[in-house]
Amino acid sequence: MKNSIVAAVVAASMGIATAAQAEITVGFITSQSGPGSSIGVLYDRGMKAAIEYASSVGAEKVKLIQLDDGSDPSTATRNARKLVEESKVDLLIGTSTAASTSAMVPIANELKVPMIAISPISVAANEAGDRWAIVMPQPPTLMVKAVVDRMKRDGVKQFAYIGFSDAWGDLVYNGAQKPAEADGLKILTNERYARTDTSVTGQVLKMMAAKPDAVLLGGAATQGALPPLALAERGYKGPLYGTPALLNTDFIRVGGKSVEGVQVSAGPVIVAEQLPDTHFSKKISMDFRAAYQKANGMPTSDGFSAYSFDAWLVFLDAAKRAMATGAKPGTPEFRVALKNAIFSTKDLVGTHAIYNYKPSDSYGVDERSLVMVRLVNGQWKYEP
Task: Give residues in contact with another protein (CB under 8 A).
Answer: 35, 37-38, 165, 190-203, 205-206, 209, 221-223, 225-226, 233, 250, 254
Q: Which CB atom, from 197 or from 333, has the smaller least distance to another protein?
A: 197
Query: Burial, 255: exposed, middle or buried (Cβ in 10 Å; 0-12, 13-18, 19+)?
Result: buried
Minimum CB distance to another protein, residue 174 (Å): 13
The least CB distance from residue 91 to another protein, in Å, is 29
- The helix/strand/coil state of 210 is coil
User: Burial, 138: exposed, middle or buried (Cβ in 10 Å; 0-12, 13-18, 19+)?
Assistant: buried
**293 CB-contact burial (10 Å; exposed 0-12 / middle 13-18 / buried 19+):** middle
Say if residues 19 and 328 touch (Cβ distance below 8 Å): yes
Nearer Cβ to another protein, position 90 or 191?
191
Report in angstroms how near the CB of residue 264 gets to another protein at its nearest.
Answer: 19
- CA–CA separation, 184 vs 149, rounded Å? 10
Query: Within 10 Å of residue 152's Cβ, how many Cβ atoms?
Result: 15
CB 177, min distance to another protein, A: 15
Least Å distance, CB 83 to another protein, is 26
Nearer to another protein, 16 or 237 (CB): 237
Q: Which is nearer to another protein, 68 or 149 (CB)?
A: 68
Between 38 and 331, CB nearer to another protein: 38
Q: How far apart are CA 310 and CA 284, in angstroms?
A: 10
Strands (E) across 182-292 are located at: 186-193, 214-218, 240-242, 263-266
